[in-house]
Structure 1
Amino acid sequence: MGKITSHITNDPSVAAKAAAFIELLKPRLSFLVAFSSGFGYILASSGQLNWGNLLLLSLGGMLVSGASVSINQIIEVEYDALMNRTKNRPLPTGRITEKEAIIFSFLVAVLGLYILYLSTNPLTVALSFVSLLLYSFVYTPMKRVGPIAVFIGAIPGALPPLLGWVAATGVISFEAMIIFGIQFIWQFPHFWAIAWVGDEDYKKAGFKLLPNNGRKDLNTAINIMIYTLFLLPLGLLPTYFGVTGLNSAVIVTVCGCAFLAQTFSLMRDNTDKSALKIMFGSFLYLPIVQIAYMLDKI
């Protein structure tokens, strides 16, 4: 029996299939969702931190997020095959069949929601389910309609910290809406910078994510700058309302100014290089800000 088990475990086809299923979940993105959920939970806990519930919340959030992006890839498989950045994903390459992906996504979603049901409260589960539906079945098809998709996608994208807060408190308070609002506004420069850099690839699939009729010009750069500018006052609201302290306010302001400064380069030269800097800046901004808030709270 031991030899049979060992043989199955070492079978390269089994290992490759397992790796493909994990890849389908986009673990790095799902981890960021879990991190943001944990951030909201810690911020709301006020010293009454339940580590078991925090771990289960993070796991459940990762699974629901993984199911959402898996469904996204099922719906967009023919478009993913057209783009350089996505053509090597498990579905376009045939490493996973569409039927396998559907069953897998369903099971992962059910497991994630069940874990949240056991460890949080009905409101958290309901909001998580709404997030999955919005991302998979509204945002995904709207990407080929127009830049309104970015607004729609920013809603489920901003829900993780709010979900963490609701998991800890059971209510959607104005503090929860503040941390939701910060992540909501952050997504516009984040998504638009990605769309600017990948514009040629996105056009192959018919995705329309950039504002200003999809043009990579000064007006689009100004849009990116304005939303980044909004992060400065928004970032101070947790301190103003006593959710966090002065130390995080200083860090958030410095990060916001550095992030904003990157948008001026894009307004000046309208180049992919400047957009790429904004994209990487957005990847740094959110976790640094959230860690600053958590450390200030703890």
Structure 2
Amino acid sequence: MLRRISLTSFSSKFFKSHSENLNYLRSSSSSPDSNLVATSATALHLPTASPSKAATDFVSLTRHYGRCYWELSKARLSMLVVATSGTGFVLGSGSAIDLSALSWTCLGTMMVAASANSLNQVFEINNDAKMKRTSRRPLPSGRITIPHAVGWASSVGIAGTSLLATQTNMLAAGLAASNLILYAFVYTPLKQIHPVNTWVGAIVGAIPPLLGWAAASNDISLNGMILPAALYFWQIPHFMALAYLCRNDYAAGGFKMYSLSDASGLRTSIVALRNSIYLIPLGFLAYHWGVTSEWFCLESTVLTLAISAAAFSFYRDRTKEKARRMFHASLLYLPVFMTGLLIHRRSDNQQFLEDNAKDFVKSASSLETIELEDENGNQNIKAKHPFRTQVRPPVAYASVAPFPFLPAPSYSFP
């Protein structure tokens, strides 16, 4: 009996010592003498650490941080920003599109957008932890540390801005840097201070297509404002619908959204409807300024009437179902609008504007100057009128306005 106990005690001590040796060998594998230890382990017929395990750990770590970077960057939202920037680049390219510059513009925009979204989550970590919709993000869930997230955001932001500066031009890089600052350091804290944050955020969303236009043309012109204006006005009904649907969540997170101070939703629906109507003239302006052909006027008008109808439906019946319908209509509007711009764009838009300017000057030079005498014949009155066009005083047109069924009176001069 005593012999059996001694044998059991010896075997347990042996296996304990054996396991300690294994742990020592594994912990020493990264030291300069790792080869010697591995050789000794082989000579003693002891198992060594498997290289496949280290490779598996590396792959798992890469996937983990890759997923964290993806979520910090809000990759889907960033890709939408890239799409608007790329569309602006194509619209500003004229007849020849530089595909290399387009690629660099999209990459730089993606990096800057990823940086801005990451900084946004760094600043809102406490707010996100209180909201169901955002509580599983990398920072509130503890999957990544704040210094790590700040390092990621800073590196991609600087790299993206530098890329735009070196591969496109300084104007595009300046717009990107300004938008990053506006989003991360103005819009983000403003969300917890005042409902005007929605309008500031709309400005942030309107800058990327202008960035793309500037990257292509190294200039900011009036006809380059069509898509930025569309994005600005589009974001208001889009975010009004989202804020109405998620207002309990926003209230829990401590955000000052416009819908939180509007219990009935009436003012929210009016703001959404008004900004939807503001989108109507953009199709006509795009044609008038030489950005697109005349077909875009019709398509843009029909599209805008559709989102306006959804906003009007929400105005009449302020329910979550109607708000969700308006939100879905806004999701449909933007890609269709940008596709229409690309399909009907005029590659010679600058030449189109120059031709219109020449025609205007030519028509202005064809005006004739006539001399009129007053009743006493003491003073000459000089007036201009188009060639072969009868002159009508303003009162003639004023008299028509209240009575559209009457013919406009005509006036002749001796």
With the shorter chain as reference, the TM-score category is over 0.9
Aligned equivalent of 1:14: 62
2:127 to 73, 79, 84: 79
3-state SS of 2:115 partner: helix
Aligned equivalent of 1:207: 255
1:100 to 142, 148, 152: 148
Partner Cα separation in structure 1 for residue 187 and residue 154 of structure 2: 19
Letter in 1 for 2:181: L
Letter in 2 for 1:46: G
Partner Cα separation in structure 1 for residue 109 and residue 146 of structure 2: 24
Aligned equivalent of 1:60: 108
Aligned equivalent of 1:146: 194
> Deviation string for 1:37-92 (max 9, x for gaps)?
01011011112100011011001101101100100000000000100110111111
Contact 2:247 2:260 in 1 (8 A): no
Say if 2:130 is the partner of 1:118: no
> Deviation string for 1:155-206 (max 9, x for gaps)?
1111011111111111111112232212111111111111111101000012
Partner Cα separation in structure 1 for residue 94 and residue 54 of structure 2: 48
In our comparison, the structure showing a higher alpha carbon Rg is: 2
- 1:1-298 pair list within 5 angstroms: 7=55, 11-210=59-258, 213-297=261-345
3-state SS of 2:279 partner: helix
Q: 1:168 to 1:5 in 2, by over 3 A?
A: farther
TM-score w.r.t. length of structure 1: 0.95
Contact 1:162 1:177 in 2 (8 A): yes
Q: 1:99 to 1:57 in 2, by over 3 A?
A: same
User: 1:216 Cα shift?
Assistant: 4.3
Contact 1:113 1:125 in 2 (8 A): yes
User: 1:247 Cα shift?
Assistant: 2.1
Partner Cα separation in structure 1 for residue 284 and residue 250 of structure 2: 35
Q: Pick which of 176-185 and 145-154 moved more.
A: 176-185
Letter in 2 for 1:27: A
Contact 2:198 2:239 in 1 (8 A): yes
Q: Pick which of 38-47 and 176-185 moved more.
A: 176-185
Q: Name structure 2 gaps, 5 residues minimum.
A: 1-50, 348-414
Partner Cα separation in structure 1 for residue 215 and residue 55 of structure 2: 43
3-state SS of 1:172 partner: coil
User: 1:13 Cα shift?
Assistant: 3.4
Task: Write 1 or 2 for the structure with the bigger share of helix.
Answer: 1
User: 1:235 Cα shift?
Assistant: 3.2
User: 1:214 Cα shift?
Assistant: 3.8
> Deviation string for 1:238-260 (max 9, x for gaps)?
11211101222222111101101
Q: Which has the higher contact order (CA 8 A, sep 6+)?
A: 1
Q: 1:11 to 1:196 in 2, by over 3 A?
A: same
> Deviation string for 1:202-256 (max 9, x for gaps)?
0001212226834342222111101101001123211121110122222211110
3-state SS of 1:69 partner: helix
Partner Cα separation in structure 1 for residue 90 and residue 57 of structure 2: 38
Contact 2:244 2:265 in 1 (8 A): no
Contact 1:41 1:167 in 2 (8 A): yes
User: 1:10 Cα shift?
Assistant: 5.7
Contact 2:112 2:180 in 1 (8 A): yes
Letter in 2 for 1:72: N
- Aligned residue pair count: 296
Letter in 2 for 1:155: I
Q: Pick which of 11-20 and 220-229 moved more.
A: 11-20
Contact 1:20 1:95 in 2 (8 A): yes
Aligned equivalent of 2:42: none
Report percent identity of matched pairs: 36
TM-score w.r.t. length of structure 2: 0.69
- Deviation >6 Å, runs of 4+: none
Q: Name structure 1 gaps, 5 residues minimum.
A: none
Q: Pick which of 50-59 and 235-244 moved more.
A: 235-244
Q: What is the Cα-based RMSD across aligned positions, in Å?
A: 1.7
Q: 1:47 to 1:193 in 2, by over 3 A?
A: same
